[in-house]
Amino acid sequence: MRSEGNCHSSRLRVLLVIGLLCWLLPLMAAAQPLRFAPLPLEDPKIIHEQIGGLIDFLAEQAEVSIQWTHFRDYGDLLTAFHEGEIDLAYLGPLPLAILQRDHSHAQPLGCFREADGAPHYTCSLVAYADDSLFPSEIQGKRIGLTQPYSTCGWLAVSEMLRAAGRRLDGDTNQFTYAGNHANAALGVVRGRFDVAGVKTAIAQRYAHLNLEPIAESQRWPGFSLVANTATLSAAMVARLQEGLASLEDLEHKPALAQLTASWGPQVRHGIVAPRNCDYAAVADALSYLPWPIPGAPIPEAPLPPEERITSLQRTSGRPAEAAAPMTPLAEARLQAVQRP
């Protein structure tokens, strides 16, 4: 009888432990911070100013803490996402397409609207207006690109040149990665480049410097928040999706529109559902993209977790590119546009 009692008592203890674990495990999982990766190659403080309001809003809506993890380049970020070290990422259309090609668990939660309300944008080839350059004449030219994984970099520029019967990696053209859109555009003004590929909205900001768009790309979907369904539960993905869905149709939500007005221009105009984002356009364009992307840095082993940049008080560790001295032609150009 005592043996049966002990056995019964043991079973009760096991059942109690199992029940306790079933109750605790969801709570423990919910307590784990969601690991978020913003765009690489941006100063952590700047990118936090740009999309920090959005991430704070999403954390509140989904009732989850979000930990920022910064990477030194796209290659590291995509590798970490694939290896389950990232739960959520903010990506442009080209990195997203590359990630989805190799990782079926990358689920975009929506794409952000541009200032005009459109869920897409275009890239432009810009040249100095006085040069009267046509795309078909781009031979033996110095071409400024943004970054290897930037949609307005190799992908869009090669597309625009191909439409004009020219080649980025041919026709004796030479290309250089300027690092960002501003450096690429200003490189034309300074005489460093003959043409450059930049986002059309950014190109318009430099029209006063006599920069002229000479070609425009097809439409690309806006930047997206991408969930890793291999590391996030279906319930968490649904909560994130629901939180972002509240940012749709902001023109009919004045209170929310007032809140988002203080966010960075990349995300303040709201979001559209994934079904309304033309991700197929980028996937189709990948067939024309050489791999690895020419000029892209050789992928390195990702930083170990303890060395990753998770504090906004640390810098990216990437030295800033020194500005090239201005040529006499560049000085003349600047003086011309600055005259009253």
Greatest Cα pair distance, the chain, in angstroms, is 105
Residues 70 and 134 reside in one and the same domain: no
**Domain termination site, one of 171, 191, 217:** 217
Residues 164 and 278 reside in one and the same domain: no
Angle at 244 between CA 313 and CA 73, to 5 degrees: 40
Domain of 205 in residue numbering reads as 123-217
In a domain, 227, yes or no: yes
What per-residue confidence (pLDDT) applies to 233?
97
What per-residue confidence (pLDDT) applies to 89?
98
Residues 235 and 186 reside in one and the same domain: no
The pLDDT profile of the chain, 340 residues, written as one tens digit per residue, is 555 555 556 665 645 545 554 454 444 445 699 999 998 866 788 889 999 999 999 999 999 999 999 987 888 899 999 999 999 999 999 999 999 988 899 999 999 999 889 999 999 999 999 999 999 999 999 999 998 989 999 999 999 999 999 999 999 999 999 988 999 999 999 999 999 999 999 899 999 999 999 999 999 999 999 999 999 999 999 999 999 999 999 999 999 999 999 999 999 999 999 999 999 888 888 888 888 888 876 544 444 555 444 433 332 233 333 344 555 555 555 555 444 3
**What ranges in 212-303 are assigned the alpha helix state H?**
234-245, 254-260, 279-285
What per-residue confidence (pLDDT) applies to 165?
97
**Domain termination site, one of 169, 192, 217:** 217
Q: If residue 46 lies in a helix (H) or strand (E), which one and from where to where?
A: helix 44-62
Residues 142 and 201 reside in one and the same domain: yes
Task: Report the candidate in 160, 133, 128, 193 with the shortest Cα–Cα distance to residue 333.
Answer: 128
Distance from C-alpha of 174 to C-alpha of 163, rounded to nearest angstrom = 18
In a domain, 169, yes or no: yes
Measured CA distances, 27 to 22, 30, 64, 77, 120 (Å) = 9, 5, 11, 28, 39
3-class secondary-structure state, position 228 = strand
Distance from C-alpha of 58 to C-alpha of 264, rounded to nearest angstrom = 15
Residues 194 and 272 reside in one and the same domain: no
Rounded (10°) CA dihedral 6, 7, 12, 13: 70
CATH number at residue 289: 3.40.190.10
Dihedral (CA of 238, 234, 266, 223) sign:
negative
Residues 112 and 226 reside in one and the same domain: yes
What per-residue confidence (pLDDT) applies to 187?
97
Residues 228 and 162 reside in one and the same domain: no
In a domain, 7, yes or no: no
The number of folded domains in the chain is 2
Residues 104 and 230 reside in one and the same domain: yes
Phi then psi for 156, rounded to 5 degrees? Answer: -70, -40
Residues 135 and 213 reside in one and the same domain: yes
What are the residues whose beta carbons fall under 8 Å from the beta carbon of 197, sequence distance 6 or more? 123, 124, 125, 126, 143, 144, 145, 146, 152, 153, 156, 157, 160, 184
| Token pair belonging to 319 | 């030295």
